[in-house]
Amino acid sequence: MNNGIAVYKGSDFIDPEWIAKGLVIYTRSTDRPFVIESIGRYGLNCSVVMVTYLNMHATADAQPFTRWYLEESLLLKMFYTKNETYNLPNDRTR
């Protein structure tokens, strides 16, 4: 896995080849920051790539670092990056 970050030239779309732990992503609708915690596969269909991510700030309905799960293809449509990383501790549980 590469630890770098890349974006498509001339846009802020996330390159799926560079999705990695610690990549900071932002929702397109609210500009709220999240950080990618891990990448895995859906248990009932291993061809579906899933991304686990955490909100970096408290929201009206979730504490900071609440864990969220989304299919990679949807995440790529709903989020963008500003080429930032965040150093996640190894023991982040919630």
What pLDDT is stored for residue 92 in this prediction? 52
pLDDT in tens, 59-76: 889 999 999 999 999 999
pLDDT tier for residue 91 given thresholds of 50, 70 and 90: low
How many whole angstroms separate alpha carbon 35 and alpha carbon 25?
A: 6
What pLDDT is stored for residue 40 in this prediction? 95
Instruction: Give the pair of three-digit tokens for residue 20.
Output: 């990695």
| Cβ–Cβ < 8 Å for 53, 36 | yes
| Cβ–Cβ < 8 Å for 6, 23 | no
Terminal-residue alpha carbon distance, the chain: 25
Among 1-5, 16-20, 38-42, 54-58, which stretch is predicted with the lowest mean pLDDT?
A: 1-5
Name the nearest CA neighbour of 22 among 48, 56, 50, 49: 56
Q: Name all domains of the chain by residue range, CATH numbers in brackets.
A: 16-85 (2.30.30.190)
pLDDT in tens, 18-45: 899 999 999 998 899 999 999 999 999 9
